[in-house]
């Protein structure tokens, strides 16, 4: 019998279950913190090279929550952030993705052409 439970175990098990139940969702980079306060949470992210909105919407739908979209300035450039936050099987899940607004304008121009 273990007397010192592994603090990250619940989040790791939840991540495995999440990926098994939703194998067709877009791939994300996942992180389980070693920090005691965050050890029971999953943090997902995605590259800044594409529009994060459809990816965030897909994950939000699977997790039964909504996407919160905000704009912010990073290095003097407007950016768009999509955040999905919920509790799934007693584990906090936070997915945050962002990209420059200029990328969205470029993608829109390509679609229109």
Q: What is the pLDDT of residue 34?
A: 79
For the cut 80, the answer to whether the pLDDT of residue 35 exceeds it is: no
Q: What is the pLDDT of residue 109?
A: 56
pLDDT digit string, tens, across residues 11-30: 999 999 999 999 999 999 99
pTM score: 0.82
CA distance 111 to 105: 10
pLDDT digit string, tens, across residues 51-107: 999 999 999 999 999 999 999 998 999 999 999 999 998 899 999 999 999 888 766
In the structure, what pLDDT confidence band is assigned to residue 10 with cuts at 50, 70 and 90? Answer: confident
What CA–CA distances, in Å, run from 71 to 11, 30, 31, 63, 100? 29, 23, 24, 23, 9
Nearest to 6 by CA among 42, 31, 34: 34
pLDDT digit string, tens, across residues 38-56: 667 889 998 878 899 999 9
For the cut 70, the answer to whether the pLDDT of residue 1 exceeds it is: no
């Amino acid at each position: 019998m273990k007397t010192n439970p592994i603090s990250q175990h619940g989040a790791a098990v939840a991540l495995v279950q999440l990926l098994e139940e939703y194998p067709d969702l877009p791939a994300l980079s996942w992180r389980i913190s070693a920090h005691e306060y965050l050890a029971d949470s999953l943090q997902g992210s995605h590259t800044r090279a594409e529009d994060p909105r459809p990816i965030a919407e897909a994950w939000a739908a699977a997790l039964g929550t909504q996407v919160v979209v905000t704009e912010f300035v990073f290095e003097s450039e407007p950016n768009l952030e999509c955040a999905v936050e919920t509790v799934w099987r007693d584990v906090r899940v936070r997915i945050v993705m962002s990209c420059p607004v200029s990328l969205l304008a470029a993608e829109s121009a390509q679609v229109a052409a």
